[in-house]
């Protein structure tokens, strides 16, 4: 069994980072450098996300979950106003677990939920 953290970091988090990068720069008008600092990324990766030169394989699939996308939109708003305090990766993981979306998201990223070790 694979731990959920491994799948989360390899398949889900890259799509989240791309989405938040685009949202912070294009909608909230932060500079690419500021968005990179907030997200803990390199400015070049934010640039690739914003210009569309780089996209996660599961970008569209994961953002198809309306509740998850709304949660990310709210998180981006908090990040843009510097009110966000908790590491976003941990907060999102907890949201997936508590909202019951975890199994659906795992299926969407081509993983069998029964083969993933999920600790709550």
Domain residue extents for the chain = 2-117
**pLDDT per residue over 81-118, tens digit each?**
887 776 888 889 999 999 999 999 999 999 888 888 77
Q: How confident is the model at residue 23 (pLDDT cuts 50, 70, 90)?
A: very high
Instruction: State the Rg of the chain over Cα.
Output: 14
The predicted pLDDT at position 18 comes to 94
Q: How many CB atoms lie within 10 A of CB 55?
A: 15
Check residue 71 and give its pLDDT: 94
- Beta bridge pairs of residue 3: 117
- Cβ contact 7:109 at 8 Å: yes
Q: Report helix, strand or coil for 117.
A: strand
Q: What angle do CA 6, 15, 68 make, to 5 degrees?
A: 95
β-sheet bridge partners, residue 117: 3
């Amino acid at each position: 069994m694979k731990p959920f953290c491994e799948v989360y970091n390899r398949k889900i988090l890259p799509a989240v980072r791309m989405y938040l990068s685009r949202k912070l720069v294009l909608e909230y008008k932060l500079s690419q450098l500021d968005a990179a600092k907030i997200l803990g990324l390199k400015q070049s990766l934010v640039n690739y996300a914003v210009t569309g030169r780089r996209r996660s394989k599961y970008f569209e699939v994961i953002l198809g979950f309306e509740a998850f996308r709304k949660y990310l939109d709210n998180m981006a708003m908090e990040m843009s106003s510097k009110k966000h305090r908790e590491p976003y990766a941990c907060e999102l993981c907890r949201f997936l677990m508590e909202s019951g979306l975890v199994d659906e998201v795992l299926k969407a990223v081509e993983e069998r939920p029964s083969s993933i070790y999920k600790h709550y």
